[in-house]
């Protein structure tokens, strides 16, 4: 299983996350068939990477905050207008994701909002508290916006992704023993719901995961990612990766 980090930034004013033009907002590709989050800049970096959007079968969204989701309208329009897509696309996420996706398309007044003009079907799966289907398991976490964590299993390997929930018992259980834990790390000190280096390091240790990749990391550490890595390593003895846009990890 291959993870391509297409966007690793976020936007939380006052928390060290500001747009510098160096990184796109959060987006990752799992092998060539799943998109995990589609923040602003996702389409730009998908095209720069040379991805074929017609191979994407599912888009997975943790929660509906804009830096995780707003790029979806451009991705869908590209699938229609550039790729001439015909195959259905499934969009998975929290309750309200169907309404939010349609609302964005309508707001932008793009023809992709019209099913007949779009030329391909959108299928939505709005997640419950905990679900298991195909190659993934999901649980609902704890965040002001309904947020879900994902675990994907392929070829005897497992990838866990926590988009922004605090590490509840349910989220920790889903992460347990994963080959790679991917998690947003937004703040430097523990916060009511945003995750700090201390939080993710302790959670990864408790869950017994093999490696960590941190995303959504603060802009102030651009050019000194080793310093940020060491903040996590104070609480976790395994490998910690601080990916940049276009970093690829084999799980």
Q: Which domains does the chain have, with CATH numbers?
A: 2-250 (3.60.15.10)
Q: What is the pLDDT of residue 149?
A: 97
In tens, the pLDDT along 17-51 reads 555 567 888 999 999 999 999 998 899 999 999 99
d(CA 7, CA 74): 15
Q: What is the pLDDT of residue 15?
A: 46
How many whole angstroms separate alpha carbon 88 and alpha carbon 229? Answer: 40
30 closest CA partner among 59, 58, 3: 3
Residue 219 pLDDT exceeds 90: no
Model confidence, pTM: 0.94
For residue 26, count other CB atoms closer than 10 A to its CB: 30
Task: Show the tokens assigned to 68.
Answer: 């995780």
Question: How much is the mean pLDDT over the chain?
Answer: 93
Q: Is the pLDDT at 124 greater than 90, yes or no?
A: yes
Per residue in 176-190, pLDDT (tens digit) is 999 999 999 988 887
For 3, 136, 206, 218, 221, the CA distances from 6, given in Å and listed in that order, are: 9, 21, 28, 16, 18
Please name which of 16, 2, 5, 40 lies closest in space to residue 241, comparing C-alpha atoms: 5
pLDDT value of residue 192:
74
Specify the DSSP element, H or E, that contains 30: strand 27-30
- Cα separation values, 178 from 153, 172, 195, Å: 9, 10, 19
160: exposed, middle or buried (C-beta count within 10 Å: 0-12, 13-18, 19+)? buried
Token readout for 82 is: 């550039």
Mean pLDDT of 144-173: 95
Query: What whole-number distance in Å separates Cα of residue 107 and Cα of residue 134?
Result: 33
Tell me the C-alpha distance between 183 and 164, whole Å. Answer: 7
* Percent of the chain scoring above 90 in pLDDT: 80
pLDDT tens digits along 96-123: 999 999 999 999 888 999 989 999 999 9
Beta carbons of 83 and 114 less than 8 angstroms apart: no
């Amino acid at each position: 299983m291959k993870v391509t980090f297409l966007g690793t930034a976020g936007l939380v004013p006052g928390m060290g996350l500001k747009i510098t033009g160096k990184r796109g907002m959060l987006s990752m590709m799992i092998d060539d068939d799943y998109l995990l989050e589609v923040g602003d800049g996702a389409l730009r970096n998908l095209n720069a990477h040379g991805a074929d959007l017609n191979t994407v079968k599912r888009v997975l969204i943790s929660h509906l905050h804009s830096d995780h989701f707003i790029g979806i309208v451009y991705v869908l329009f590209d699938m229609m207008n550039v790729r001439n897509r015909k195959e259905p696309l499934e969009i998975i996420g929290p309750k309200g994701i169907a309404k939010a996706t349609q609302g964005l398309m309508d707001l932008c007044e793009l023809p992709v909002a019209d099913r007949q003009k779009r030329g391909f079907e959108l299928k939505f799966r709005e997640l419950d508290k905990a679900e298991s289907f195909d190659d993934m398991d999901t649980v609902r976490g704890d965040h002001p916006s309904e947020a879900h964590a994902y675990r994907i299993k392929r070829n005897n390997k497992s990838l866990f992704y926590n988009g922004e929930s605090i590490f509840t018992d349910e989220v920790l259980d889903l992460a347990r023993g994963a080959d790679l834990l991917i998690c947003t790390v937004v703040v430097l000190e523990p916060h009511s719901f945003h995750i700090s280096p201390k939080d993710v390091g302790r959670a990864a240790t408790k869950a017994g995961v093999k490696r960590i990749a941190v995303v959504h990391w603060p802009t102030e550490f651009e050019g000194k990612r080793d310093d940020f890595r060491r903040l996590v390593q104070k609480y976790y003895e395994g490998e910690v990766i601080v990916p940049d846009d276009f970093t690829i990890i084999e799980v």
